[in-house]
């Protein structure tokens, strides 16, 4: 195959980024809605009779292996969130943006005389919903799809037959898997009496993002130290008032105050079977103090999950991050998840901004602090054989799956 030109590489990279962001958003939506099995989603769609969704096609869409049709996407979203017109409109626009990048990349390949890979021809034929795509690349893209469709037709049919067979035999496969002891990873971890996980890793390693998914999959609460501070301060608790006085003077909050908030939270019944601890401990003294705190109730951190990322990757993630002023949980990224309109939140329309602690200068300081203080926490858990290390590089869904598999292997 001929070498790609700079324009071809840029178009291909742009499409890959958009598809990965699209798949990550589907993955987040799936987890937020309780992570129903693909078979359950496919069965519900079949019962509704609007459009057939196969388990294998859902898996490919959520893992980012291919871009499904617009109709498929909208039906999948409908099955996850219900008939929410606003959500459907949001996903229609998201799909159109990815489709435009895909067709621009295909047009570059066609113009250069390079042949489309078979995998790129595995799209479904253009449907009525697909016709809503922006017209700029539509004519050329339709011609490319038609050229590839003849070659891919038999492959598509074989894949559909295989998907139907897999769905029909899903019950038997589950029974067989149970007998062999290979039930799904999340279900196996949920069967443990308790699962207490502390997240560690350098700035920008994805701890905050992964904590949400791990908490849902393990069915345990996420204990984020920043959230404990907000709850105690807004609730005017004794510890909250004490913390506020230190913060108001620009001083660090003493560890005993933070540990007091954590101890109070651990008395809540939802932590009985475990938790995911994010944002603490940050140094060796705090790690020892957490162990002592849990020992008083005959508990301990079962595993420290360490997300490894390089310094360059950390800078790229944090410097490009933009936070919505209306809601800090609404996050965009100028490269990895760019907003449709510059500096405007896709979700609520609020203004996006770069946090002060996401500037290059502050990130460099945070890395030095991590090397000086937090790295010893990783070493402590490693020496005690309680450390589980995974790569934090890749899509959100791939890192989640990697972490769950590593925890499953660790617990045995």
343, 404: one domain: yes
**For residue 287, with 0-12 CB atoms within 10 Å meaning exposed, 13-18 middle and 19 or more buried, which class applies?**
buried
Where a domain ends, among 177, 209, 232? 177
pLDDT higher at 140 or 204:
204
168, 24: one domain: yes
Where a domain ends, among 148, 177, 206? 177
Q: What is the mean pLDDT of residues 240-245?
A: 91
- Phi and psi at residue 306, in whole multiples of 5°? -105, 120
Q: Token match 């799904």: residue? A: 184
Q: Is pLDDT of 141 > 70?
A: no
Q: Which of 61, 98, 94, 56 is nearest to 76 (CA)?
A: 61
51, 127: one domain: yes
388 — pLDDT class (breaks 50, 70, 90):
very high
What value does the mean pLDDT of the chain take? 79
Q: Is pLDDT of 361 > 70?
A: yes
152, 49: one domain: yes
Active-site option among 94, 242, 322, 366 = 366
Q: Is pLDDT of 285 > 90?
A: yes
Active-site option among 321, 322, 337, 380 = 321
Residue 155: predicted pLDDT: 46
Q: Is pLDDT of 35 > 50?
A: yes
* Count of domains observed in the chain: 2
214, 164: one domain: no
Q: Which of 101, 127, 95 is nearest to 25 (CA)?
A: 95
E strand residue ranges, 164-259: 195-200, 222-224
Q: Is pLDDT of 47 > 70?
A: yes
Q: What is the mean pLDDT of residues 22-36?
A: 80
pLDDT higher at 183 or 347:
347
81, 131: one domain: yes
Residue 378: predicted pLDDT: 94
Tokens found for residue 240: 């909250």
Answer whether residue 262 is part of any domain: no
113 — pLDDT class (breaks 50, 70, 90):
low
pLDDT higher at 284 or 120:
284
| Residue 113, phi-psi category: left (phi > 0), alpha (psi -120 to 50), beta (remainder) | left
Answer whether residue 234 is part of any domain: no
Answer whether residue 73 is part of any domain: yes
Q: Which of 338, 229, 328, 332 is nearest to 278 (CA)?
A: 229
Q: Which of 292, 242, 244, 234 is nearest to 266 (CA)?
A: 292
195, 288: one domain: yes
Q: Is pLDDT of 167 > 50?
A: no
Where a domain ends, among 143, 177, 211? 177
Tokens found for residue 228: 């404990």
Annotation marks residue 341 as catalytic: no
Residue 308: predicted pLDDT: 94
Q: What is the mean pLDDT of residues 228-250?
A: 88
169, 278: one domain: no
pLDDT higher at 158 or 10:
10
Answer whether residue 260 is part of any domain: no
Answer whether residue 153 is part of any domain: yes
pLDDT higher at 178 or 110:
110
Residue 379: predicted pLDDT: 94
Answer whether residue 244 is part of any domain: no
This prediction has a pTM of: 0.62
Q: What is the mean pLDDT of residues 120-132?
A: 44
Annotation marks residue 355 as catalytic: yes
Active-site option among 109, 207, 242, 317 = 207
165, 294: one domain: no
Q: Is pLDDT of 135 > 60?
A: no
Answer whether residue 33 is part of any domain: yes
Which secondary structure element, helix H or strand E, spans residue 86, and what is its range? helix 85-111
174 — pLDDT class (breaks 50, 70, 90):
very low
Q: Is pLDDT of 180 > 60?
A: no
74, 193: one domain: no
**High-pLDDT (> 70) share of the chain, %:** 79
Q: What is the mean pLDDT of residues 149-164?
A: 47
Tokens found for residue 292: 């002592």
Kindly calculate the radius of gyration of the chain based on its CA atoms and give it in whole angstroms.
Answer: 24
Q: What is the mean pLDDT of residues 115-123?
A: 39
Residue 110: predicted pLDDT: 62
Annotation marks residue 282 as catalytic: yes
Q: Residue 400 contacts by C-beta under 8 Å, 6 or more apart in sequence?
A: 27, 31, 210, 213, 214, 217
* Chain centroid, CA 295 distance in Å: 33
Question: Cα torsion for 184, 186, 187, 190, to the nearest 10°?
Answer: 160
Q: Is residue 200 within 8 Å of 381, Cβ to Cβ?
A: yes
Q: What is the mean pLDDT of residues 123-130?
A: 45
Q: Is pLDDT of 6 > 50?
A: yes
275 — pLDDT class (breaks 50, 70, 90):
very high
Residue 25: predicted pLDDT: 84
Active-site option among 50, 325, 355, 360 = 355
Q: Map residue 396 onto helix, strand or coil.
A: helix
191, 117: one domain: no
Q: Is pLDDT of 160 > 80?
A: no
143 — pLDDT class (breaks 50, 70, 90):
low
pLDDT higher at 412 or 385:
385
Residue 62: predicted pLDDT: 87
Active-site option among 97, 110, 188, 282 = 282
Of 108-112, 239-243, 280-284, 317-321, the least confident: 108-112
Q: Is residue 275 within 8 Å of 196, Cβ to Cβ?
A: yes
Q: What is the mean pLDDT of residues 46-70?
A: 84
Tokens found for residue 179: 């007998």
E strand residue ranges, 182-273: 195-200, 222-224
**Residue range(s) defining the domain that contains residue 355:** 185-221+268-411
Tokens found for residue 77: 């979203």
Answer whether residue 263 is part of any domain: no
Of 38-47, 135-144, 190-199, the least confident: 135-144
209, 340: one domain: yes
149 — pLDDT class (breaks 50, 70, 90):
low
**For residue 89, with 0-12 CB atoms within 10 Å meaning exposed, 13-18 middle and 19 or more buried, which class applies?**
exposed
Q: Is pLDDT of 377 > 50?
A: yes
Q: Which of 280, 268, 285 is nearest to 304 (CA)?
A: 280
Residue 238: predicted pLDDT: 94
């Amino acid at each position: 195959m001929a070498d790609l030109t700079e324009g071809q590489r840029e178009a291909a990279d742009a499409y890959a980024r958009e598809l990965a962001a699209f798949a990550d958003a589907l993955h987040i939506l799936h987890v937020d809605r309780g992570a129903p099995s693909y078979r359950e989603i496919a069965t519900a769609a079949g019962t509704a009779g609007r459009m057939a969704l196969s388990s294998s096609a859902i898996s490919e869409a959520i893992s980012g292996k291919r871009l499904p049709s617009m109709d498929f996407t909208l039906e999948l979203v409908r099955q996850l969130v219900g008939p929410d017109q606003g959500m459907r409109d949001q996903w229609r626009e998201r799909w159109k943006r990815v489709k435009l990048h895909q067709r621009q990349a295909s047009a570059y390949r066609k113009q250069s005389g390079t042949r489309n890979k078979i995998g790129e021809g595995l799209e479904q034929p253009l449907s009525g919903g697909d016709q809503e795509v922006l017209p700029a690349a539509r004519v050329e893209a339709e011609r490319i799809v038609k050229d590839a469709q003849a070659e891919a037709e038999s492959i598509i049919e074989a894949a559909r037959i295989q998907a139907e067979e897999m769905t029909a035999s899903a019950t038997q496969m589950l029974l067989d898997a149970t007998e062999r002891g290979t039930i799904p990873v999340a279900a196996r971890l949920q069967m443990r009496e308790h699962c207490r996980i502390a997240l560690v890793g350098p700035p920008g390693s994805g701890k905050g993002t992964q904590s949400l998914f791990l908490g849902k999959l393990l069915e345990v609460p996420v204990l984020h130290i920043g959230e404990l501070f907000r709850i105690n301060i807004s609730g005017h608790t004794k510890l909250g008032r004490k913390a506020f006085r230190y913060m108001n003077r620009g001083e660090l909050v003493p560890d005993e105050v933070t540990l007091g908030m954590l101890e109070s939270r651990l008395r809540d019944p939802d932590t009985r079977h475990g938790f995911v601890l994010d944002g603490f401990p940050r140094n060796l003294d705090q790690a020892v103090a957490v162990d002592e705190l849990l020992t008083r109730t005959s508990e301990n951190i079962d595993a420290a999950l360490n997300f490894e990322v390089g310094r360059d990757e950390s800078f790229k993630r944090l410097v490009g991050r933009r936070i919505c002023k209306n809601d800090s949980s609404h996050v965009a990224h100028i490269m990895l998840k760019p907003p449709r309109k510059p500096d405007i939140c896709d979700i609520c329309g609020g203004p996006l901004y770069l946090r002060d602690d996401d500037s290059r200068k502050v990130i460099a300081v945070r890395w030095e602090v991590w090397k000086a203080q937090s790295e010893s926490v990783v070493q402590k858990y490693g020496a005690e054989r309680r450390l589980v290390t995974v790569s934090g590089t890749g899509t959100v869904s791939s890192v989640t799956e990697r972490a769950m598999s590593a925890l499953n292997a660790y617990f045995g």
